[in-house]
Structure 1
């Protein structure tokens, strides 16, 4: 009886154990599919390494094929359920997206979409989904790094600029960086696709002109050249607006708005990184710039004022001290005593005054050796001082020194110049320097940028102008043909001493990475600096400026008029009156003494 019971128990266990094993069978087809998937993932990693896995799983807690491979991948993994994740995407950008089905990826977060645009993804195709449909769906969202795998283990990759927008790849192929790669640079050859742009027509960075050979409208300048060379590099077609007018400056706000509304892809204009709140719509910096004032070269000092500057107050003080010292020595040397010492003999010592000015004076018949030693020193001083000032006078009359250089905004306001400013420049100056310039007596505020440029481009020396450094380079190059330099670039008063400028870009521009890489290449090869250095000559070739001398130089042989000696005559009259006064005092003193 006991043996029968044991037999029944053993048979029951033997019957139950196979049921446990068969309840979760390992299908050979699934194992084969996993092996193919692992081979695909290894090939993707060989093409370009990834260090993070992002899995868009199925809803309802169900697992897909990708979840079963997590222990074998041994990489940091982010699991996102089906639908909008609203993730901050703070992990590495070198990630690989694994989508469990064609509808798993439904991201709505703008920041996440920017990261997803360049991310590589592998999608598991359902049986009813065709590769053609899936590629079209992703291309409509401007996401192009898409590969897919079906239930049979076949590998497909999307191709944008082809008649059939997908190819089937052999997962056993060991090719790398060729047409059989899983993820290719879709925008390396755009095959004539359109890139929409618009120049702001601010000289010299972007200018419109008619091609003399083809008659087509083209744009030039160091900013437009970057867009032109990028279009050529990716074999695209540049499209400009049909209603553009030559010489009409486009407002920054309008270009930015059209770019934000996806009407433009890469406009030929620059924006400051400090003026843009969202840097996602601005490229990496293209150029650095400063924004300071260009000032008229100070005028030559009038001849009449030369006599007022050749004698510096410290030097004049030293001469007076020497005069007093020689007066004391001459008084003492006469009798080797201080009996004749008085204030009148010190300040009105005729011998000391004549000696310092290099004139002759009477000497006693039998002078002492002390007197001779003092005269020897006095003769040396009389030789140095008049020679020095005569050299100064002749030099300044030949080439007069310039007037005082303006070094602050207060100097600007106190000068006879007027300040020409645009409306937004006034706001910046008032914000930075806490000044009121809107109704200032010597400030002219321009609302029209074209009127402001017409005055500045003619080098009107009545005004002081704010200008950026890159534009100033063209002015500096233009002044090389002038007889005299008219303006100079001052860094004493600036709206901005260092500013970075980049290109505004259409939201979710799919070839943003290629464009920024092209920008770095142009900077590394020196073409950017070459374009900037050639800006003035580009403007001349396009008839945007004239080779005209705006300096209005004065003749070098300008004569000296009587009015230029007015200060000398005034000094002459003043000292003669002073001498007459002293003579009258002496006469009165002598009469009183008798």
Structure 2
């Protein structure tokens, strides 16, 4: 019995020592992990900790951190969490994270992850498995972390794909790995719609390259991150639509084209807005009024009405002051007063020698009115013959039907306007639209300034058209700013969903704007097209042949009116003779 008591005392003492050593090692592990988490917080601040797994050292340490903690023991949240970028992810083992919610995965793609290795798993296999899920900010600690003081951090663009970091060294644990992609391929495809992206062959390298204010953005980004562009040449006539589909299917990383906010699409496939523009009609400049119609233009109804009223008043005054009597006052004498007509046309008429002062004053008023009227109409006539006014243009969407030319639009853009229930587009009658299935075909007609149609165009594309028309003798089209389907359209670059370097690309967009490169590319877009032979450096306005003198056709309207008035006068003269003879016989 005494030996049994002695044996139990020895076993209890050894167990106490073992528990003391175990508790001491656990305490040291917790202190080491806590210091590591505090160092990670100093490198980049986080305010939330997300822990995957049942029970490990992270659960104990999280109680000592002054941050919010979310425990996911099942490995998946099962619903969409609104996690921000300031969340640190802790996993008790590489297998504990089994996140299945798509939106949560997208939000947590770039977040930093710290993995606790309780088993002997090689770091390269862990880094590889996370890289397949496009998660690259990975660091690992083993259970011997207390003695080794070593952290394994994944490094995607090197061999081996991880780095061994000692806490004694002042090196960052997490780095921005995509700042140097070591020549990794970026898959892209261009729409080759000038001036966004234009294909040309480099004279030195004999390689096919791109140029344009969208192509330059993609090209400079690849140079910045030391990547290689893999350009796929698509021959489909629905090339823009095909690029969108390839990006959604993750067959392309970046699409060298622009996607408008009019198209209903998920935001996962669009970048930060690259260009803010408007979407309006590009209408033909109204033709000049022909010379033979100038006479009708200067005869404004209001002015003619006022002149007629003044004529009647002066005729009445002239009849009264001629004899200071209302005896000759009649409608016929007022409307057919030859003295008043000749006076207002600046011609002479008989004037009595012993005229009274009232008559002299009335005649002076007639002379003054004749000077004003003849000078006004002569000035109008000479000005309009020098530069005739334009015919009435399109002032509203409802006026499009009254115009002889229809609106040519691509099918893809019309579908976008219909899906967004654009109220202005609904005002246009379907018979006044010409829908083109092929986007390049419609844009080719627009680039050639085809006069058979009017077109719809974005403000950024119009800037190059305006630059080109500066070379024309007369502008062909104008940008109807009062006829816009939308005055605020965001044009974005299509990006593959879950693109790991999306943030770098969007930062690159903002930097190009900050340095003024986007404005520079757009202002030189027309000259880039000329240099590549995609736009002619000539006048496409087809100006009319200048005639130094008036032709018979230019005064045809006046001659016709004069002939009609002369025939009417002869008819009245004959009628007057006939009436007098009939009275004489009676």
Is 2:35 the counterpart of 1:39?
Answer: yes
Secondary structure of the 2:190 match is coil
Secondary structure of the 2:64 match is helix
Give the superposition deviation at 1:144.
0.8
Which residue of the partner structure matches residue 281 of structure 1?
269
Which residue of the partner structure matches residue 3 of structure 2?
none
Equivalent residue runs for 1:128-147 within 5 Å: 128-147=120-139
TM norm structure 1: 0.88
Which residue of the partner structure matches residue 251 of structure 1?
239
Which residue of the partner structure matches residue 5 of structure 1?
none
Distance in 2 between residues matched to 1:420 and 1:399, nearest whole Å: 31
Question: 1:13-47, CA deviations, whole angstroms, 9 ceiling, x for partnerless residues?
Answer: xxx9xx99999998121222222122111211111
Which residue of the partner structure matches residue 392 of structure 2?
404
231-240 or 446-455, which moves further after superposition? Answer: 446-455
Is 2:108 the counterpart of 1:120?
Answer: no
Distance in 1 between residues matched to 2:305 and 2:581, nearest whole Å: 32
Give the superposition deviation at 1:383.
0.7
Q: Aligned Cα RMSD in Å?
A: 2.8
The match for 2:67 among 75, 84, 100 is 75
Is 2:506 the counterpart of 1:510?
Answer: no
Q: Is the 8 A contact 1:326 1:378 kept in 2?
A: yes
Distance in 1 between residues matched to 2:417 and 2:400, nearest whole Å: 13
Equivalent residue runs for 1:57-206 within 5 Å: 57-58=53-54, 63-153=55-145, 154-173=150-169, 175=170, 180-206=171-197
Is 2:322 the counterpart of 1:334?
Answer: yes
Give the superposition deviation at 1:450.
4.0
Question: 1:405-424, CA deviations, whole angstroms, 9 ceiling, x for partnerless residues?
Answer: 22234433323334433334
Secondary structure of the 1:320 match is helix
TM norm structure 2: 0.89
Give the superposition deviation at 1:206.
1.1
Structure 2 residues not aligned, in runs of 5+: 1-11
Which residue of the partner structure matches residue 206 of structure 2?
215
Count of equivalent residues: 563
Q: Is the 8 A contact 1:273 1:279 kept in 2?
A: no
Change (3 A) 1:222 1:35: same
The match for 1:50 among 46, 50, 53 is 46
Is 2:480 the counterpart of 1:490?
Answer: yes
Q: Is the 8 A contact 1:155 1:171 kept in 2?
A: yes
Which residue of the partner structure matches residue 409 of structure 2?
421
Distance in 2 between residues matched to 1:171 and 1:158, nearest whole Å: 16
Which residue of the partner structure matches residue 357 of structure 1?
345
Distance in 2 between residues matched to 1:558 and 1:407, nearest whole Å: 34
Which residue of the partner structure matches residue 368 of structure 1?
356
The match for 1:499 among 489, 493, 509 is 489
Give the superposition deviation at 1:498.
2.5
584-593 or 182-191, which moves further after superposition? Answer: 584-593
Which residue of the partner structure matches residue 236 of structure 1?
227
The match for 1:317 among 293, 298, 305 is 305
526-535 or 287-296, which moves further after superposition? Answer: 287-296
Q: Is the 8 A contact 1:200 1:249 kept in 2?
A: no
Secondary structure of the 2:177 match is coil
Which residue of the partner structure matches residue 464 of structure 2?
474
408-417 or 76-85, which moves further after superposition? Answer: 408-417
Q: Is the 8 A contact 2:83 2:104 kept in 1?
A: no
Secondary structure of the 2:374 match is helix
Give the superposition deviation at 1:170.
2.8
